[in-house]
Chains A and B, each alone.
Chain A
Amino acid sequence: MTKPTGRLHRWLDSWPVYRQLTGPDRTGRGAAAQSPRSRQLHARTSAAEPPARSVCPYCAVGCAQLVYTKDGRVTQIEGDPASPISRGRLCPKGSASLQLVTGPQREQRVRYRAPYATEWSDLPLDTAMDMIADRMLDARRRGWQDTDADGSVLRRTMGIAGLGGATTDNEENYLFKKLWTAMGAVQIENQARI
């Protein structure tokens, strides 16, 4: 069979049966059946921007992750083969990082529960921060201890407590400890005590 050319060829070639009869794939189960979409399939990471080099947020093995983005959105997270720790591999939790970061379970807005309320309500972030700062200073003052029973200096507050840090960056923990200590707060703990 001689092959037609030009537009007719392209039109005919889009028809799998024609491809099967004219091409080498006589059973019609291979190249002839391949759809244009299949032919053009590519990994979504190949079109992405260069990945950010990151670290898995779950356990403390410290597996390296590559975070692929497109148009300001995370499109894929997978292991970084260059890592001497993980060699590109991830466990099921690390492999679920994309869902962790992009899933609908992520809260995006401040939620506020007023005393005695039975439901959440909305609150602007800035207002929330002002309210929290006011409450911190108030609780700090109310829980203040200058000295113990023997007169030893304490200069601390027991009115506020903090918990958390094992999921937080070193730089953030540093600011937490620094601010907390300057406030005179000693009750600060994290998962390491557990």
Chain B
Amino acid sequence: MGSNMAECHPVGFQWVMEAKQRGARVIHVDPRFTRTSAHADQYVRIRAGTDIAFLGGVINHILGNDLDFREYVQAYTNAAFLVREEFADTEDLDGLFSGYEPGRARYDSSSWGYEGAGHHPTRPMESGMGGPPIDMPARIAEDPTLQHPRCVFQILKRHFSRYTPEMVERICGVPQDRFLEVCRAWTANSGRDRTAALVYSVGWTQHTVGAQNIRAGAIVQLLLGNVGRPGGGVYALRGHANIQGSTDIPTLFDLLPGYLPMPDADRHPDLAAYLDAMRARGQKGYWQGADAYLISLLKEWFGDAATPENDFGYGWLPRINGDHGTYRTTMDMIDGRVFGYLVMGQNPAVGSANGRLQRLGLANLDWLVVRDLTMLETATFWKDAPEIETGEIVPEQCRTEVFFLPAASHVEKAGTFTQTQRMLQWREKAVDPVGDQRSDAWFFHQLHCRIRDRLTDSTDPRDEPLQRLAWDYRLEGSGAHEEPDPDDVLRHINGLDLTTGRTVDGAAQLRADGTTACGCWQYCGVYAHEQNQAAHRKPHDEQGPYDPAWGWTWPGNRRVLYNRASADPDGRPWSERKKLLWWDPAAGRWTGYDVPDFPATTPPGHVPPEGARGPEALRGDDPFIMQGDGKGWLFAPQGLCDGPLPTHYEPHESPMRNPLYGQQSNPTRRVYPRPENPYNPSPPEAHGEVFPFVLTAARLTEHHTAGAMSRQLPHLSELQPELFVEVSPELARMRGLTHLGVAHVVTSRSAVEARVYVTDRMAPLRLDGRVVHQVWLPYHWGPTGLVTGDVVNDLLGVVADPNVLIQESKVATCDIRRGPRPHGAQPTGRLDSLRARAGGPAVAGTTSGTAVPREMP
């Protein structure tokens, strides 16, 4: 679901095809019949943006028919834990959980906690990946029989009780028999002997309920015992060569390396406060080591200047206080608050939602640095943006100074990428780059040298961290080519024992006293024993099924996360067929085909002593070692800002009223109302009929994301040479569209012109007594390259998931009309009239609480 694996990850799909040939059943749920659907045993067409309704239906089917893997659920999930009395569900509050603050469009989450456990409020972007800690009593109140009305299991049951097959049909447009076929296949292929894997991609994340989409999938997999076991799991297929790595070692505003949070201005004034917010009384698991992780990071960054006396330089870190995400920053560019922008290997002028917003931001900078392999729209906006035609950008009046620096390619530098299953693989350098082409390591090194030189004599305390920055990596090349040796940088990311100068072998060796330095605790071990483990290349036919000697997978080179759950509570494999890890009583340790993802010598029946913390506090049956309670979370007592359970909300722009609740859309979704970012109206607002169709966009196999790595290549461009829009024959007839004719898709943001593909791969949905049409476009084109076309992302507005600030670009509403779009200065005029019909510019749909609940109890 939410993934088009055959098209977007074709080589990974070989394993699905192989599993299918061995008898696995493949189900594809997607708004559009894709090359993945073509090879599925069952294809289920769904309305874009209704995945939680579908998965909620599956959960209801499981719980209503007692089909959960009860032994697994009882032992390994938080099903038995009791939730506070104050908690009220969406069933009680017509689509809201307890604690909603209407004026601020956010929740006070204090009522969602476990009974008796302390609670830290959940606020977005403040807690890294660990989420706020759980302040735990010796034992959380629980009912092992799962009967207590306030136990998680019963709450879950009530929450999803109205997600019936009828409701799934009404919301998703999936016929009941087809839906039940999926339920039967999923449950029949789960349990002791069988497992089912769930695959998603940005089809799940790019929604105002993105994080909750994934939560819903995880709940199904936990209920069916499909986590931590071979053939199970929830797979996020990621889209760029190192997008996993750039999340682990984050070039992201809210994180420090290893998913530690960026310091928050209010909550983390000093090191002690930061660490207290990370760890809590009685908390289990490996986040308890956050002090060692952070202090080792500060030691790597500031070297000898990081001392216990100065909080290891913690005070030098900048603080965040809210949303500094890419869209917020772009709007600040338009407002003149950002002066300079560095863009590397990314093409926001085409690839980000609301392209016009992006380009207007670029046009209002003092300077812009673009580093890439080829010329691309983000660097050339001042001469070929669509806004030049409309007169919104005039080259002679655009002051942005642009530096385009040619980059070295992946074969012209060594280094690691972290692929989608967390594996780091070292790339050898094949050739030198030519001309001015340089690696990004060169760029940052040279920039650092220049900045350091300019600040040598500064006495400004602001410059202290730059003056004290440890930057003594081994260098290679000379003169104009001098750059840090990536091998040495990786060694420092792995971490060093400063007392011996040798590498540490794992995160357990990191210390909070300043005697270790480590760039990313999670990558500890990638350079264990002074060896670049990511460079291991033992051929797969010379090793076992988990291939431990090829690359290196975080954490600790284990290939299946939470693999303690592959054995039953007593430490025996659930079945011979699904054997992965087991307790060897004779040896007194966990053993098996993978590296144990659990304290290796903690026996299955272990009960930790009173007052234990961290890994020592894990019971023998707590497989979820990063959770404060050691359990898989069916119910998330904290960590999410839009509720402890996934709930079906309509997309921000939808042709439909939410049939389940008075609350139409995610009440905490992040909206950005401003003239450049108008929204289409949705029910219950008036004028929804102006944009009657569901719009969704995605990729093609033949191109790569925003196109800079494919539109310039003849061998790829010829395979998909032009932007097209897919419509069903029914919609084509309705709008008078002809195959290969020209049409334009319109939203309140923009109009995009494309050739029409009339295809049965698109089909209208019948739901809730009406017909809903969906329209699909690939988004790879822009004004630059061998093949050019309109920017599809111009159609989308910016509205985001409140947890992670990812934009809802997988669903919006639109209209489609035959013929070319208006050209010249006209589009804005014509769009203005459309916007007027839709209820005026910018205001429509811009409030979070788009619906007053029908009855507030």
Contact = CB atoms under 8 A, between A and B. Distances in A.
B484 interface: yes
A126 to B, nearest CB: 7
Nearest to B206: A194
B151 to A, nearest CB: 36
A83 B421 CA distance: 14
A170 B424 CA distance: 9
Interface stretch (A3-11, A18-26, A30-38, A54-62): A54-62
Contact of A155 (B318, B543, B703): B318
Contact of B445 (A52, A94, A175, A193): A175
B807 A194 contact: yes
Nearest to B411: A67
B802 to A, nearest CB: 14
Contact of B431 (A56, A74, A103): A74
B246 interface: yes
A193 B340 contact: no
Interface stretch (B50-58, B236-244, B283-291, B689-697): B236-244
B49 interface: no
Interface string B698-716: 0001111100011011111
Nearest to B716: A96
B435 A58 contact: no
B390 interface: no
Nearest to B793: A194
A16 interface: no
A173 interface: yes
A25 to B, nearest CB: 37
Which interface residue of A67, A82, A83, A166 has the most chain B CB atoms within 10 A?
A166
Contact of B403 (A77, A123, A178): A123
A183 B406 CA distance: 24
A135 B367 contact: yes
B36 to A, nearest CB: 14
A180 B451 CA distance: 12
B447 A62 contact: no
Contacts of B421: 62
Interface string B429-470: 111101111111100111110110011000000100110010
B796 to A, nearest CB: 11
Interface size, A (range): 35 or more
Interface residues of B, number: 161
Interface in A130-179: 130-139, 142-144, 148, 150, 152-179
A152 B430 contact: no
A52 to B, nearest CB: 4
B339 A159 contact: yes
Interface string A27-59: 000000000000000000000000111111111
B12 A171 contact: no
Interface stretch (B219-227, B346-354, B644-652): B346-354
Contacts of A157: 318
B249 interface: yes
A102 B153 CA distance: 58
B308 interface: no
B537 interface: yes
Nearest to B375: A107
Given A116-B399, A129-B447, A135-B366, A108 B342 contact: no
Q: Chain A interface mostly helix, strand, loop or mixed?
A: mixed
A56 B466 CA distance: 35
A109 B713 contact: no
A173 to B, nearest CB: 5
B444 A86 contact: no
Given A55-B425, A136-B340, A100 B403 contact: no
A194 B347 CA distance: 12
B544 to A, nearest CB: 10
B409 A57 contact: yes
Nearest to A81: B539
Given A67-B430, A181-B318, A110 B401 contact: no
B587 interface: no
Nearest to A174: B249
A145 to B, nearest CB: 9
Contacts of A55: 241, 410, 417, 419, 425, 427
A157 B253 CA distance: 13
Interface stretch (B100-108, B261-269, B678-686): B261-269
Interface string A90-107: 111111110111010111
Interface in B359-380: 366-367, 369, 371-375, 379
B345 A148 contact: no
Contact of A54 (B244, B401, B428, B445): B428
Contacts of A169: 242, 245, 413, 415-417, 427, 439-441, 486
A168 B435 contact: no
A167 to B, nearest CB: 3
Given A62-B417, A168-B242, A106 B340 contact: no
Contacts of A177: 249-251, 256-257
B454 A163 contact: no
A133 B450 contact: yes
20 contacts: A56-B410, A73-B431, A93-B710, A99-B715, A101-B412, A103-B713, A105-B373, A109-B406, A118-B395, A125-B436, A143-B339, A154-B265, A168-B345, A171-B441, A171-B493, A173-B245, A174-B520, A187-B253, A192-B252, A194-B206
Interface of A: 51-64, 67, 69, 72-74, 77, 81-87, 89-97, 99-101, 103, 105-120, 123, 125-126, 128-139, 142-144, 148, 150, 152-194
